[in-house]
């Protein structure tokens, strides 16, 4: 009987030990939106969004404030296209109304960004509300 308890105890210690070590050593997996949040704050080539856009009080006013971009209910695909090639949505240099304000459509292409980066940025914007 005593031997049975000892065996169960050892198995328990091994299993719990494995769980704890695994939790400590396995890298934290970030969501696409979290990766996008990191990317947009980075100095990578092509990441120039804050030159023209405000998010949470920080940035320029040449383009619309993106702090509540999710409320405009664009799809991820739409956001990806907008970032990569805005002229597919807005005629260049035309005046466009976004969220009640008028802007001149001068957002540049971002063709240097990878598919993964576009998805991450779009996922991040899609979560801003």
Secondary element (H or E) of residue 17? helix 2-25
> What residues from 40 to 59 belong to the interface with ligand HEC (CB under 6 A)?
47-49, 51-53
Q: Is residue 83 a contact residue for ligand HEC (CB under 6 A)? A: yes
Q: Are residues 65 and 98 in contact, defined by beta-carbon separation less than 8 angstroms?
A: no
Q: Are residues 66 and 55 in contact, defined by beta-carbon separation less than 8 angstroms?
A: yes
Q: How many residues are listed for the chain in this entry?
A: 129
128 Cβ contact partners less than 8 Å away, ≥ 6 residues apart: 55, 66, 67, 68, 69, 70
Q: Is residue 118 a contact residue for ligand HEC (CB under 6 A)? A: no
Contact residue for ligand HEC among 70, 81, 96, 128 (CB under 6 A): 96
Q: Is residue 70 a contact residue for ligand HEC (CB under 6 A)? A: no
Judged by the rule CB under 6 A, the positions of this chain that interact with ligand HEC are 47-49, 51-53, 62-64, 66, 69, 72, 74, 79, 82-83, 86, 90, 96, 98, 103, 105-108, 110, 121, 125
């Amino acid at each position: 009987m005593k031997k049975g308890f000892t065996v169960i105890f050892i198995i328990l210690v091994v299993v719990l030990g494995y769980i704890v070590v695994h939790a400590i050593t396995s890298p934290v997996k970030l969501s696409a939106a979290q990766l996008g949040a990191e990317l947009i704050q980075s100095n990578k080539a092509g990441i120039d969004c804050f030159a023209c856009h405000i998010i949470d009080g920080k940035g320029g006013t040449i383009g619309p404030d993106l702090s509540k971009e999710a409320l405009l209910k664009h799809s991820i695909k739409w956001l990806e296209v907008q970032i990569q090639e805005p002229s597919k949505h807005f005629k260049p240099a035309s005046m466009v109304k976004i969220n009640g304000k008028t802007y001149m459509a001068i957002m540049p292409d971002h063709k240097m960004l990878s598919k993964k980066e576009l998805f991450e940025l779009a996922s991040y914007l899609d979560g801003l509300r």
